[in-house]
Amino acid sequence: MALYLISYDLIQTKNYPKLHDAIRKYGNYCKPLESTWIIQTADTTINIRDYCLQYIDIDDRLFVVKLEADTAAWYNLPADVPNWLKAR
């Protein structure tokens, strides 16, 4: 299974709980930044995008990208995030 980064800007704060719950349904995830998640799934970028679109409004912004192995660098993230990434 691959790792995918999901990042978004939601205009209406009421949308956050719905989108967060939807992303959590992937089961294997971490949240390194406020509006950024990383999930591990066999799904595709297009399918992830289309799934998330159900939970956001037309004026919101969404970015989904597949992450490649050994291409990440970070600074000052919560300890559980690097541990989660290294375990994959």
Domain containing residue 37: CATH number: 3.30.70.240
CB of 28 within 8 A of CB of 76? no
Alpha carbon distance 65, 88 (integer Å):
17
Task: Give residue 48's pLDDT.
Answer: 98
Q: What is the pLDDT of residues 25-71, one digit of tens each?
A: 999 999 999 999 999 999 999 999 999 999 999 999 999 999 987 78
Query: pLDDT at position 16, please?
Result: 84
Structural domain boundaries enclosing 28:
2-86
Q: What's the total number of domains in the chain?
A: 1
40/29 Cα distance (integer angstroms): 6
Closest among 74, 81, 85 to 31, alpha carbons compared? 81
Beta strands in the chain (DSSP E): 2-9, 29-33, 36-41, 61-67
pLDDT bracket for residue 72 (50, 70, 90): confident
- Whether residue 11 has pLDDT greater than 90: no
pTM as predicted: 0.90
